[in-house]
Amino acid sequence: MNENGIEARHLDFGGRRVLVTGAAGGLGSRMARAFHAHGAEVVLADLDRERLAPLAAEIGGAERHAFDQADAASVEALARAADPVDVLLNNAGILHVGPFLEMDAEAIERLIATNLTGPVLLARAVARGMVGRGSGVIVNTASQIAFTGGPERAIYGTAKAGLVQFTRAAAAELGPHGVRVAALAPGRTPTPLTEAALADPDYLAESLARIPAGRLGDAGEMARLALFLASPLADYVVGETLIADGGYILA
pLDDT tens-digit profile of 126-183?
Answer: 999 999 999 999 999 999 999 998 789 999 999 999 999 999 999 999 999 999 999 9
Q: Give the pLDDT confidence score for residue 6 in this predicted structure.
A: 82
Predicted TM-score of the model (pTM): 0.95
Averaged pLDDT, 76-101: 96
What type of residue sits at position 194?
Answer: T
**How would residue 1 be classed by pLDDT, with cut points 50, 70 and 90?**
very low
pLDDT at 2: 57
Give the Cα separation of 130 and 4 in Å (integer): 29
Q: pLDDT tens across 226-247, in order? A: 999 999 999 999 999 999 999 9
Residue spans of beta strands (DSSP E) within the chain? 17-21, 41-46, 63-66, 87-90, 136-141, 179-186, 241-244
List the catalytic residues.
Answer: 156
DSSP 25: S
Pick from 54, 52, 11: which is nearest to 226 by CA? 11
